[in-house]
Chain A
């Protein structure tokens, strides 16, 4: 257990901050994997756009974390207020929903379309769950080609649910790593409002995440190996790059079988 009280606090924080850079490096492939999963699943579901929205704050707001399609770049970090739109309902209910005629009337939460200039006609929205909690929403928008579009089918809802399980695991790993990165930034910031109580609460929250623990064990292990010398760093890098190459060569999945 990390004890933040006492004289060893600066040393402990120093060690935490040292791992931040490694955590940053580790989050990068996760975002790439997310985008790959979205591309793969959108092709499978014949969907034009796909995006991942994650819970933002405690009130049930959502923000776009990852997206593919024509307006992907514009979507990133757009926020949707709690309970608004199909995604808001899916987050709060934990149930998927398919809507085949969103653009037909004005009650659709159209803020996102207004900001991107995109015309949403149909949505298949599926909750992203991890550890019994809904952590976000996976959305597929419109079909490929030109309207009128065929509605999403029950079979496609089932397939989206299967993709959602894999994507939820990636999102959770990403969020854990990002939490740590943010913590480092908080500690490093020259801001007198930063107090140690807040940092302690963050660490308590992080400690409860198994995925985060595994991620950090890995980060610390890499740091340990890398700190031993040039030869160790080269070997470690070669080994990890070999694993990535092997994983990338598996067309059906980007994961190794253990």
Chain B
């Protein structure tokens, strides 16, 4: 049986033959979907970077997606998009709005948004949302398996409250993230054996907000897009990577980060 300690001394980025060139990438051509409250496409940090915006709408008891020009009423999606754009400025961002419209914001719209993103085969899907409702466990599990099989890399924020949320507690078919106090956007951690494996900056993060402004925000929601940004950099240089390989690469890079920290302290 492989133990946690074996993984702590596991393969480095060099062992995986992962070249350092991803650090100079910009996410060029990588398609990223943000399933959230929409994106303010007029924000100076995001202008020209959002290639598509769609919005959930209930049509005869079914949820469908129409082109959207309603932007973002809450600011949350804009903040997530801004973090990704800062790390990977040439990424093609797509907004899938499932929060903010009257009558929506429940788990069904969230699931429909994720399904839409998988059907469209986005390379990376940012889920800074989740649900704690047990009735969504099974459908979300199926959707995450479909995403994995379709080659979509789903990155989910952990619940900020002391209860499991779905899909962040699933293990193999997605990458889940919790906030750290780290400030360097590329200095993330990987903790094999924990329910939520990745840590990334999520405390007092300066992000774009509605009306062209900025906010300093705290929450796992803002750690998640940091990892999405890093994955976009990796995929620009290695577009053939599978979700499994991307997770291994993140693990290897996190090990390098950890080693660098230890050396810095020494």
Which positions in A face B, CB cutoff 8 Å?
58-60, 82-84, 88-89, 91-102, 104-107, 126-127, 129, 132, 151-154, 157-158, 161
Contact A83 B101, CB 8 Å, known A89-B37, A101-B215: yes
Assign chain B's interface to a size class.
35 or more
Return the CB mask of B176-206 against A: 1 if under 8 Å, else 0: 0001010000000000000000000001100
Which residues from A are CB-within-8-Å of B181? Answer: 154
Task: From A60, A97, A102, give the contact of B102 (CB < 8 A).
Answer: A60
Contact A83 B162 (CB under 8 A): no
Specify the chain A residue showing the minimal Cβ separation from B103: A59
- How far, in Å, is B187 (CB) from chain A's closest CB? 17
B247 within 8 A of A: no
Q: Which residue of B lies closest to A58 (CB)?
A: B103
B212: A residues at CB distance < 8 A: 105, 107
Most buried by B among A91, A92, A98, A105: A92
Contact between chains at B216 and A101 (CB < 8 Å): yes
Flag whether B242 is at the interface (Cβ < 8 A).
no
With a 10 A CB-CB cut-off, give which of B74, B103, B162, B204 has the most chain A CB atoms: B74
Known pairs A88-B74, A95-B160; A104 contacts B214 (CB<8 A): yes
> Which of A96, A104, A153 meets B213, CB within 8 Å?
A104
Residue of B130, B157, B213, B215 with most chain A CB atoms under a 10 A cut-off: B215
Q: Can you pick out 29 interface pairs between chain A and chain B where the beta carbons lie within 8 Å of each other?
A: A60-B102, A83-B37, A83-B74, A83-B105, A84-B74, A88-B74, A92-B99, A92-B104, A93-B105, A94-B132, A95-B129, A95-B219, A97-B219, A99-B216, A101-B214, A101-B216, A105-B209, A107-B209, A107-B210, A107-B213, A132-B132, A151-B204, A152-B218, A153-B203, A154-B179, A154-B218, A157-B218, A161-B160, A161-B161
Chain A residues positioned under 8 Å from B160 (CB to CB): 95-97, 157, 161
B226 CB-CB contact with A under 8 Å: no
Which of B70-98 touch A at CB < 8 Å? 73-76
Residue B123, interface by CB 8 Å: no
Nearest residue (CB) in A for B106 is A92
B217 within 8 A of A: yes
Q: Report the separation of the CA atoms of residues A91 and B106 in the bound assembly, to the nearest whole angstrom.
A: 10
Q: How far is the CB of A56 from chain B (nearest CB, A)?
A: 13
Q: With CB as the reference atom, state the residue of chain A lying closest to B104.
A: A92
Tell me which residues across on chain B come within 8 A of A82, comparing CB atoms: 102
B159 part of interface (Cβ distance < 8 Å): yes
User: A127–B220 Cα gap in the complex (Å)?
Assistant: 15
Which of chain A's residues have a CB closer than 8 A to the CB of B210?
107
In the complex, the answer to whether A151 meets B218 with C-beta atoms within 8 Å is yes
Contact with A along B123-150 (1 / 0, CB 8 A): 0000001111110000000000000000
Across the interface, which residues of B come within 8 angstroms of A96, CB to CB? 160-161, 219
In the complex, whether B221 has a CB less than 8 A from a CB of chain A is: yes
Contact of A83 with B213 in the complex, beta carbons under 8 Å? no
Alpha-carbon separation in the docked complex, A98 to B217 (Å): 6
Which are the 8 A-B pairs with shortest beta-carbon distances?
A105-B213, A107-B211, A92-B105, A107-B210, A98-B218, A89-B74, A100-B216, A83-B100
